[in-house]
Structure 1
Amino acid sequence: MPSERVFALIDCNSFYASCERVFRPDLANTPIVVLSNNDGCIIARSYDAKPYVKMGEPYFQARERLQRHGVVAFSSNYGLYGDMSERVMTLIESMVPACEVYSIDECFAELTGVPGDLLELGRHIRTKVLRCTGIPVGVGIASTKTLAKLANHVAKQHQERTGGVVDLADPLKREWALRKTPVEEVWGIGKRLSRHLRVLGIHTAMDLSLAEPRLLRQQFSVVVEKTARELAGLSCLELDDAQAPKQEICCSRMFGMRLEHLAPIREAVASYTGRAAQKLRAQGSWCKRLRVSIRTGIFNPHEQHHAQAALVELPYPTNDTLLLTRAATQALTRLYRPGFRYSKAEVLLLDLCPAGQFSGDLFAPAQSARSEQLMAVLDQVNARYGRETLRSASVPQVADWAMRRELMSQAYTTRMDQLWRVR
């Protein structure tokens, strides 16, 4: 008989805050929060910061309280977090047979057929990731992906007792975890759906695992049915080995200030287009259309509101930053209206297709080989020396409209001029 499926979920603890602590060992025992774009809201908290602030709370409301309790705030340093995530995931992939990166701070691993003590393997993964990257992780092991997620949750909730690793292969441990877990904390359920489940008498993960799957499918969806079956120990969700290419690529940012003139908005749109084009080339795709939109703030009743978008048909499928930027900025000129104070722009690349896998007009123009060579050199230089080392001339080196990140840490791992210095 085939061996029972075994999955593990490896999840970084307070990932954004942990990234900041890696290069600030003086903050090892200091509560940390990380802020959203333009330092607006709290989007991440270290475990010891949770008693002092709610997730999503506006920073200006919490600032004095955080300072009073010695909580240190950081602006979002997405470049650092992305690079640290890649290091963690690469390390995990080297220790397991197969791996699915689920988000920036967590991944599923396939452990079916792996010999030896799986708890010991989980501890080895945790120790090696911490030693090599400085990021603490929790490891949950079980026979299904949903149970592995639950095991990881238990590992984090009872870290002192579990050492950050839990294996729910033992039926007694699995039953205890299911009985102790409220249904809203089950992966994929949430608070809104849990209210409907509670009407049916389903209050815990155990209740959901014992519910009739077919009835759950009729009343809710196939997703809820699969969740119940997975909690009962029947594997319904496979490991996704490779992430499918995106069908749309978006780059959207709030400006650091309200913009009234066309020139700085054009610079922002050119910058966003360049970033979107880089993502496009990274997944080996070409773009047939793009959409540009701008809008004013929506919360100030004393400001005039304006929001408009334009869809642009490109002359041919392309991944050329220069062509995409020219099309986006020309569309922006048609959208812009004087007298408004704009707060946000967005560039959306649409109708994506793999390079060489599109049906074009035999007599229509096509992207030249020279353009492809130029884009390859652009990406190579920026990968080696940092993002936007080479960029469109429309994008300034320092922009007044850039997103406010007054509390941002250094780009310790992605910029040569900001490498970590040890004295």
Structure 2
Amino acid sequence: MRPSRTFALVDCNNFFASCERVFNPGLRGKPLVVLSNNDGCVVARSQEAKALGVKMAQPWFQCAHLAGSHGVIALSSNYTLYVDMSRRVMAILAGFSPEQEVYSIDESFLAFASRHEQNYREMGIKIREKVLKWTGLPVSVGFAPSKTLAKLANHWAKTRPEFAGSCDYSALPGAQQQALLKATSVGEVWGVGRRLAEKLAELDIHSVADLQAADPAWLGQRFSVVLARTATELRGVSCLALEDVAPPKQQIMTSRSFGTRVTGLPTLHEAMMAYATRAAEKLRAEGQLAGEIQVFIRTSPFLADAAQYSAAQWLRLPEPTDDTLRLAKAACFLLKRLYRAGFQYQKAGILLSALQPAGLRQTTLFGSAQTRRRDKLMTVMDQLNREMGSGTLFLAGAGIDPVWRMRQDNRSPRYTTHWAEIPLARA
């Protein structure tokens, strides 16, 4: 019997690599990887690259030899393009259901009031066809009575040819459901990471079927209420509601590796000003204020012959704020306390915490007038940067052409968001 409610998970296949192929068809069929900031580690792989043994998060220098021996192509991350393509995909998916949760840049949950006559597998095929036609991106779709099972159904839709990219778990015969659950490692379950999978294996829970059969009460006592809820979801009982509005973040992090080794305090100061600016923009976009700030700096752990140093300090702010200038001042204050000469710094970052809604702001007795003026200034900064492009208006202390800016030696054009980089069509 079909449940009263059905969830769908739509996931873009090899999203970053697929985005690159949309505008450069010459990359299709070739082993392709997308690298992290400063071209350090692999963050996305095409199926051809996976077949060659390239692993997620693998440092590029460990597999760079494959470029010569097997023609692996490595591109720098182009997040501007990926975010815009994601926005287009999510807008298309919203047309299939008014209930949508954008789970990540390449994943979205949809919810449907189930009808017995509804063929969800055919709906999944229609979703795939429309997204491919309108964006050029391949997707896989999984349907199930719970979000956890929908994630698994999506996994089977993507990895098992018999489903052709669309799997409706509820429509499968019971014997086929159990065969899939037994053949799938427990590590594929949403929320079960490598360490938890190892602990479960010690208790003879190896497959998804094993976890489904485990007593939720026992799992809750032995592990956590979260794992107990996961086991219940695997039985087809929905415990996780669709989040139409993403919950407010508990922390905001801005961190980057430097494009070159940094030794001097003035250069670190520029980077910290830039990171504080970006963190404050995120904070205002979330409609929140930060009550605490943490700053960290570190050298590269991969330079074994170089002196190592890593440190962090935090500060409780006099009052919660989203003011770029105040956050930058606090960050640079902490940086001066952390800095030690004689080291080659490779990374720095800012973490904002103790977040609260901006509408609950409590100012000091004499600070309300200045706060109102600063709010107007921040509003103008955000508006100009939205309309004229990110970085149009910035703090001078962040530098005009910083040498620490991350490397993107092989970044593709930002085809959809920058006039100067729009692709040309020749007839």
On whether the aligned pair clears a TM of 0.5, the verdict is: yes
Structure 1 residue 363 displacement after superposition: 4.0
Aligned equivalent of 2:320, options 314, 317, 321: 317
- Give the whole-Å Cα distance in 2 for the aligned partners of 1:334 and 1:327: 11
2:292 aligns with 289
* Matching of residues 150-299 of structure 1 within 5 Å: 150-159=152-161, 161-172=162-173, 173-299=176-302
Deviation at 1:313, TM superposition (A): 4.3
Deviations 1:83-137 (A, max 9, x none): 2222212221232121112122111111124673222221222111112222111
Matched, 1:302 2:322: no
The 10-residue stretch of structure 1 (17-26 or 311-320) with the greater mean CA deviation from structure 2: 311-320
1:39 and 2:39 are equivalent in the alignment? yes
- Give the counterpart of 1:383 among 368, 373, 386: 386
The more displaced of 120-129 and 360-369 is 360-369
Match of 2:10 in 1: 10
- Which deviates further from its counterpart, 49-58 or 365-374? 365-374
Partner deviation per Cα, 1:350-378 (whole Å, 9 max, x = no partner):
32221230334334456433322222222
> Cα distance, 1:283 vs. partner?
0.7
Secondary structure of 2:140's counterpart equals strand
In the TM superposition, 1:87-106 aligns within 5 A as 87-106=88-107
More displaced stretch, 203-212 vs 7-16:
203-212
What is the CA–CA distance in structure 1 between the aligned matches of 2:218 and 2:319, rounded to whole Å? 50
Letter of the 1:91 counterpart: I
Letter in 2 for 1:155: A
Separation (CA, whole Å) in 2 of partners of 1:226 and 1:286: 32
Q: Tell me what 1:132 maps to.
A: 134
Distance in 1 separating the partners of 2:323 and 2:269: 18
Kindly indicate whether the alpha-carbon contact (under 8 Å) linking 2:182 and 2:207 is maintained by their aligned counterparts in 1.
Answer: yes
SS in 2 for 1:235: coil
Q: Distance in 2 between matches of 1:301 and 1:146?
A: 42
SS at match of 2:121: helix
Per the TM alignment, residue 324 of structure 1 is displaced from its structure 2 partner at its CA by 2.1
Q: Secondary structure at the match of 2:360?
A: coil
The CA deviation string for residues 307-330 of structure 1, in whole angstroms up to 9 with x for no partner, is 333434445433222232233224
Q: How does 1:31-110 map to 2 (within 5 A)?
A: 31-52=31-52, 53-110=54-111
CA contact 2:76–2:411 (8 Å) conserved in 1: yes
Of the structure 1 ranges 349-358 and 297-306, higher mean CA displacement relative to structure 2 is found in 297-306
CA contact (8 A) 2:2 2:114 kept: no
How many angstroms does 1:276 deviate by? 0.6
Q: Residue 419 in 1 paired to residue 422 in 2?
A: yes
Q: The residue matched to 1:108 in structure 2 has which SS? A: strand
- Between the aligned partners of 1:391 and 1:320, the Cα distance in structure 2 is 13
Contact (CA 8 Å) 2:280, 2:323: kept in 1 or not? yes
The question of 1:362 aligning with 2:365 is answered yes
2:399 match: 396
Identity of aligned residues (%): 48
Confirm or deny: 8 A CA contact 2:2 2:170 kept in the other structure: no
Match for residue 144 of structure 1? 146
Q: 1:191, CA displacement in angstroms?
A: 3.5
In structure 1, the residue matched to 2:20 is 20
Q: Distance in 2 between matches of 1:130 and 1:285?
A: 37
**Does the aligned pair in 2 maintain the 1:386–1:414 contact within 8 Å?**
no
Count of residue pairs the alignment pairs up: 422
CA deviation vs aligned residue, 1:25-70 (integer Å, no higher than 9, x gap):
1212222111122212222111121121222322122112233212
TM-score for both structures, normalised by structure 1: 0.92
Provide the C-alpha distance between the structure 2 equivalents of 1:262 and 1:199, rounded to a whole number of angstroms.
50
Q: Is the 8 A contact 1:385 1:415 kept in 2?
A: no
SS of 2:359's equivalent in the other structure is coil
Contact 2:297–2:347 (8 Å) recurs in 1: yes
Q: Root-mean-square deviation (CA), in Å? A: 2.3
Gaps of 5+ in 1: none
The aligned counterpart of 2:412 is 409
TM-score (norm. length: structure 2):
0.92
* Residues in 2 aligned to 1:179 and 1:317: alpha-carbon distance in whole angstroms: 51
Bigger mean CA deviation after superposition, 162-171 or 295-304: 295-304
Task: Label 1:327 to 1:205 Cα distance change in 2 as closer, same or farther (>3 A).
Answer: closer
* Change beyond 3 A, Cα 1:348–1:197: closer
